[in-house]
Amino acid sequence: MIDATSANRALWDEWADLHIASAFYDLESFKRGGIRLRAFEVHEVGPVSGRSLLHLQCHFGIDTLSWARLGARVTGVDFSPRAVALAQSLAAELRLPARFICADVLELPAILDERFAIVYTSRGILSWLPDLSRWAQVVARSLQPGGVFYITEAHPIIQVWDDDEGIAGLRFRYPYFASSNPVVVPTHGSYADRDAHVVQPVSYQWAHDLGEIVTALTSSGLRIEFLHEFPFIFYQALPFLEQHEDRTWWLPSGWRGELPLSFSLRATKPGEAGN
């Protein structure tokens, strides 16, 4: 586990510098006042102005700072020292109030003993976690009574398909059901730039099926308000997906039937809501 975590951290340190300069993240547009959040997630999270928000696995902070622009009092957490340093620098440059903490999300309670009105996480984070039960406990512990947890994420079903270049259709490669053993995934650039040069040769990722995700959250004491599934995803997860004008990626037009490619889930912690 230590080797897997160290390898993944090294990869995300590399990716932080790659991503902050990438067209995928379009940092210059954000610096001009943009909000890098999807309209549906802003709607589903609800009003954030004046409320405390904890962003788990925040990368270099562009989404965290988007919530700050919408009025939230934000704290971002990530295990990559390079990503956290870039997030802190970006917040200072843009004069946006934000706190960023370098920590493994599963070890967060030993570092941060606070409760938040909102815990948020999104897009490509669950597969990097070896233990969803511990993750869900961290989420629940970090919430105030009445607080909201929200996640929008790649659907577990998209993780099973072969994503090598040249693949023209759906072909099974990876497991769907949860396992304690990580899948070793060869590194080909990143989701932001598949052709980028990256030194770290592999990553270690864990399969988490939808049932495991829901059960982990409910077992931690949270009450699920909704689970929505969508036929699109936010990055080119498979080489044959087609991009639409709104920057979402879909299965090719003309295919019969649809598959869920992403989902969103909102849950609450019992009790009276605070700020």
CATH 3.30.70.580 fits 2-268, yes or no: no
26-44 pLDDT, tens digit per residue, is: 999 999 999 999 999 999 9
* pLDDT value of position 256: 61
pTM: 0.95
CB 18 within 8 A of CB 198: yes
**End-to-end distance of the chain based on CA atoms, in angstroms?**
37
41-69 pLDDT, tens digit per residue, is: 999 999 999 999 999 999 999 999 999 99
**Residue 261 clears pLDDT 90, i.e. is over it:** yes
Interhelix angle 2-20/81-94, rounded to 10 degrees, is 30
Short-list 159, 184, 6, CA closest to 79: 6
Q: What's the angle, vertex CA 209, arms to CA 169 and CA 110, rounded to 5? A: 130
Round to whole Å and give the CA distance between 72 and 176.
36
User: In this structure, how many other beta carbons lie within 10 angstroms of the beta carbon of residue 138?
Assistant: 24
**Residue 1 clears pLDDT 60, i.e. is over it:** no
Sorted by where each begins, the domain ranges of the chain are 2-268
CB 104 within 8 A of CB 111: no
Kindly report the average pLDDT of the chain as a whole number: 94
Round to whole Å and give the CA distance between 74 and 196.
31
**Residue 166 clears pLDDT 80, i.e. is over it:** no
Round to whole Å and give the CA distance between 133 and 140.
11
Round to whole Å and give the CA distance between 173 and 163.
8
